[in-house]
Amino acid sequence: MYPKVALINKENKKLVVFERDLNNPFNEGFIIYWEISKSSHKHLIFKKRLTTIRALNKFKKLLKEGWLKTNFSDQAA
């Protein structure tokens, strides 16, 4: 199943949100990159559609790079 999680980098400057596609929640979804400014405002960098397999691979890679899970997923969209 497509991950539904948000990750933030160590410097708290970038946020990545994995969001399921409501029309196809088991096979596809979106990865959304945000930049966080000093005033805690989020700016959209880009949004891309990914398959579940690619999303899980990206999620695992980001965790290995030190990104941390956060509860921003509900606030980002």
Domain limits, the chain: 8-76
CA–centroid distance for 9 within its chain: 11
Burial class (CB in 10 A: 0-12, 13-18, 19+), 61: exposed
- Residue-wise pLDDT tens digits, 16-47: 999 999 888 778 999 999 998 877 788 999 99
Residue 65: pLDDT band by 50, 70, 90 thresholds?
very high
* DSSP code of residue 12: S
Residue 22 CA to residue 67 CA, distance in Å, equals 26
> What is the 3-state composition of the chain as percent helix, strand, coil, each rounded to the nearest 5?
20, 45, 35
Global pTM reads 0.82
Residue 21 CA to residue 36 CA, distance in Å, equals 24
